[in-house]
Amino acid sequence: MPALTLAVEIADAVAAAKKQRQSSFDVKSKARELATAHPNSGASVGDVTDILEQESLAAGLVPV
């Protein structure tokens, strides 16, 4: 379940950035925040960064 909670928070973060009509998204900062908040998920900061970058691009955001 910890990985599912992390996945939902990743989706929520990208959706919130898109809703705020941000043209770019600081994925590294958000990845550190989410990985730290979910240590039992088994995901590293690098894993979360990769996912956030992919999801940001899919949502039309520019990951920075």
pLDDT digits (tens, 9 = 90+) for 5-50: 999 999 999 999 888 887 777 899 999 999 999 999 999 999 999 9
What DSSP character marks residue 8?
H
Measure CA 19 to chain center: 15
Helix orientation angle between 2-19 and 27-37, rounded to the nearest 10 degrees: 150
pLDDT at residue 39, as a whole number: 93
What's the predicted TM-score (pTM) here? 0.88
Burial of 45 (0-12, 13-18, 19+ CB in 10 A): middle
pLDDT at residue 62, as a whole number: 84
CB 46 within 8 A of CB 8: no
